[in-house]
A and B are shown apart, each in its own frame.
Chain A
Amino acid sequence: MNRFEYVRPRSVAEAVAAAAVPGSAYLAAGTNLLDLMKIGVARPARLVDLNHLPGLDGIEHLPDGGAQIGARMRNADLAYDPAFRRRFPAVAEALLSGASAQLRNAATVGGNLLQRTRCAYFQDTASACNKRRPGSGCDARGGENRLHAVLGWSESCIATHPSDFCVPLVALGAVVEIEGPAGRREVPLRDFHLLPGATPERESVLAPGELVVALRLPAEAAGFAAHARYVKLRERTSYAFAVVSAAACLRLEEGRIVASRLALGGVAAKPWRAEAAEAALAGATPDAASFRRAAEIALAEARPSGDNAFKIELARRIAVRALLLAAAGTPDRLPALPASPFASVPGGFHG
């Protein structure tokens, strides 16, 4: 780990001023940042510690029915907030399917959004990586790339964004609230992460020194609470990143879908909202045939970036599974294995 200067601001204004110095990085729990510093991938000259700021660590259920979540709130605290769980069950399920209990107790909302890719070549300073060192090449292209992107990738980078949390959030239209040297602004989560294009080192719209202060879920997001699920396929049952995942949320009236939300995880450099698939579900009956059609549309543009063609069909199936589970209804209590696809589906569907 490189040496760094440590600063401990006591207010958001102090934090933003401290981070305006080039080479600075915000330290939240550090479960991603310290890890990357230990292996020499992140080398900040200055750590601006967010852990002693006042506030930004709770959730406010807004009068209009939405919710505002402080950027420093711990992943576990959010997942276990009873009102949050009741109103946004797919988000709670996604949170609880991520990492381990220890990591969720520490990890923050802001850190989860801004965690870096798990691409092995990005994490290995001896490999070529355009994201870590622009212009150096991409060793993932000819290497181990089973788990890399199938949507939105470019010739310069095929990495995925690893967050579970972000998948239902993007489906539900979350908004990121940002404080920076130039003042306050808001960015919808769907526009927050960037696809790689020719500049994979740019991963979000945050300008240097900008701080995520909160995340907002709009009131209408709670309207899906009765039919909202997250499904995550992993290479082992627990404590593993998604191979592919899907968040599905439905509003049903008289046996028809009146509104739907669908997003995919593990497939791209950002949480992938499937709006065309959502449009196709409007007015449809909530059955396997409709869902399969929607999944085909969601993955229509997908193409393998290496040895990962299998992920395209897998993503379709996980999307169908999430939609079927959502249609069956949000369970009163989250399953023992949150988001696991190895649970029986009402109606006996096993695709």
Chain B
Amino acid sequence: MSLSVTLTINRVPRTVQLDDPRVTLLDLLRERLDLTGTKKGCDRGQCGACTILVDGRRVNACLALAISHDGADILTVEGLSDGERLHPVQAAFIAHDAFQCGFCTPGQIMSAVGLIGEGQAGDDPERVREGMSGNLCRCGAYRGITEAVIEAARAMAETAREEAA
């Protein structure tokens, strides 16, 4: 069978010809499409640096085979802002100093977007920490991360209420 995959990446349809079925979504994004915002930490599902949304769900791009995701809708950190307007999660990470070196940050942010979408944690810090446990931060910015996620969740709920009214 032909090794071509068609993906919607950050709202743009892309068809990529693969010379080899071994390519992961992470390597496809970074090496073939120059989308290096998604980071490679462990490459084994253990750190969360590679977190992206696939069909709206947060997953580890390092353990996803690209060819198997033919037809999928992918959102990476590059596709999050609305032009110059930051996504509420991005804005909250800045407001709460939720990073130091920044290496884990794209994964943290994408994971937070996924977590808020899942709607299981609300604004309970313990549930937010548990829901974010798949994202490690070697700089230990966890406190700011938790605060940022809670604030972004509130801001997004507020916007949704205003829009519904």
Contacts and interface: CB of A to CB of B under 8 A. Distances in A.
Interface in B44-63: 44-45, 48, 51, 57-60, 63
A239 B69 CA distance: 25
A34 interface: yes
A286 B134 CA distance: 37
A101 B22 CA distance: 25
Given A30-B68, A103-B134, A38 B45 contact: no
Contact of A80 (B3, B68, B120, B131): B120
Contacts of B126: 336-337
Query: Main secondary structure on chain B at its contact with chain A?
Result: mixed
B21 A106 contact: no
B68 A27 contact: yes
A136 interface: no
Contacts of B127: 336
Contacts of B59: 102-103, 105-106
Contacts, number: 97
Contacts of A100: 45, 48, 133-135
A31 B133 contact: no
A336 B67 CA distance: 36
Nearest to A239: B133
Contacts of B123: none
Interface in A21-38: 27, 29-31, 34-35, 38
A101 B21 contact: no
Nearest to A1: B22
Contacts of B58: 101-102, 105
Contact of B57 (A30, A31, A35, A105): A105
B124 interface: yes
Nearest to B43: A38
Contacts of B45: 31, 35, 99-100, 102-103
For A5, A102, A105, the residue with the greatest tally of chain B CB atoms inside 10 Å of its CB is A102
Given A6-B21, A105-B114, 14 more contacts: A6-B3, A30-B63, A30-B64, A34-B64, A34-B65, A35-B45, A49-B65, A49-B67, A76-B57, A100-B45, A105-B58, A106-B63, A336-B124, A336-B127
Interface of B: 1, 3, 20-22, 24, 43-45, 48, 51, 57-60, 63-65, 67-70, 111, 114-115, 118, 120, 124, 126-127, 129-135
Closest 3 CB pairs of A and B: A100-B134, A238-B133, A336-B126
